[in-house]
Amino acid sequence: MTTPAAAAELLFGDSLTCEELRPAAFVPRPRRADPVLAASGEALLRALAVVEDGPRTEEPETGDHALPRIEAKLDLLTTLVASLCRHEDTDPVRFLQWSARGACLLLSEPPPDAPEGGLFRVRPADWLPSTLQLPATEIAREQTPEGLRCWLRFDPLPPALEAALERHLFRIHRRAVAESRRPRQGS
């Protein structure tokens, strides 16, 4: 384990970082699930991007953007039905700071001991109850009056998943900036 300051610098030092309240947890890692998690995580983030932003600009221009959006919505619907069949517990909403390198969670109790690491589980969109699961290792912790702050470093991600995660975090950041610029009602 390292110090909280060193962990924060490693995870958030020179990368896009988002702070938000989101259902999230750090749970024990199942055996031999990493390749499946990477593929499903990438598919979830890509489908969210298409639904929220429209089709990617590097896709060929066909003049009809409806088909990629419908396909993405069907992918999300399939993911949603699969998650309902698994009966995933909903994680508590907690303060979260995250980047494409890792996350810092404020927990009410210590995470389970996981020498081989665990899974950072987060619901990436308010309107979709599916979760993104990324393999991670706890690198620092600090007791605060609000609870236990844990820094989690993501295991090396496949390049496509890392790019999809960076794009997702950029969309969160862009929405936060737009919200901060919006005039407040009643002011």
The predicted structure's pLDDT at residue 87: 47
The predicted structure's pLDDT at residue 102: 93
The predicted structure's pLDDT at residue 43: 77
The predicted structure's pLDDT at residue 99: 93
The predicted structure's pLDDT at residue 176: 81
List residues bridging with 107 in a β-sheet. 148
Chain center to CA of 10: 18
pLDDT tens digits for the chain (187 residues)? 889 999 999 999 888 898 999 899 998 877 665 666 667 777 777 777 777 765 555 445 555 666 666 776 776 666 666 555 544 557 889 999 999 999 999 988 877 776 678 889 998 887 777 888 899 999 999 999 988 999 999 999 889 889 988 998 998 888 888 888 877 665 5
For the chain, the structural domain boundaries read 4-56+64-180
- Two tokens at 99? 């980047």
The predicted structure's pLDDT at residue 154: 92
Determine the Cα–Cα distance for residues 58 and 182; give it in Å rounded to an integer.
Answer: 30
Given the candidates 1.10.357.10, 3.90.470.20, 1.10.1370.30, 2.40.10.430, the CATH classification of the domain at 4-56+64-180 is 2.40.10.430
- Give the CA distances from residue 86 to residues 3, 34, 56, 72, 95, in Å, rounded to whole numbers and listed in that order: 37, 18, 31, 21, 26
- Two tokens at 22? 């989101």
